[in-house]
Structure 1
Amino acid sequence: LDAFEARLDKAAGWLYLMVEQEQRIHFQGIQDSPVKMWEALEAVHRQKRAGMRFNAYDDLFSIRKLEEESLQSLINRVESSKRKIKELRPSSFTLEQLDDELASMA
């Protein structure tokens, strides 16, 4: 248990040191929890809004195989784009909401 807590402290310290000074304001009161620190940064920088998803969908639908690109590289770009879309969805996101968003993109 002590080793686990030591790793948590290291992770929290690493996060604190790696972010820019201006970003440390988001860590007030949670400096001892790397999970909460990461969630605070995510809440600020990865906002799960329709506009962000619109851009992510647009990026996905714009992917084309480049002339010298391997099929695996193309698949990797598609998977990366798909993962980005999933990360931008709130956990309560429904198919009905997806339908509405896709209709608004038309």
Structure 2
Amino acid sequence: MDDIARFEMFCKLRAEIRGSDNHLIVGIDIAKDKHHAFFGTAKGQSLWRRLIFTNDLTGFNRLIEQANTLMTQHNLTSAVFGMEPTSNYHKPLV
């Protein structure tokens, strides 16, 4: 996929999410051993400010479990995960 196609996909996704009542936004700050996640809505409402999870399968399952719980509690149908990659520590999560 070329850069133009990737940019067009990004723009389409951003337009779909902006102001949506259906999306959970998960922002992840990557670190070597433990990551930090924030959960909110596309309209700026904070749902869960700080989840710290380990950089292994147990931690990843905890992240997904928390996302699923919040989606159920707030009647959200889609989740979008974004991360700030640091070094190569994000690769297991990807």
The answer to whether TM tops 0.5 is no
| Higher normalized strand content (fraction of residues) | 2
| Higher normalized helix content (fraction of residues) | 1
**Structure showing greater Rg:** 1
Relative to the length of structure 2, the TM-score reads 0.29
**More RCO (CA 8 Å, sep 6+):** 2
Relative to the length of structure 1, the TM-score reads 0.26
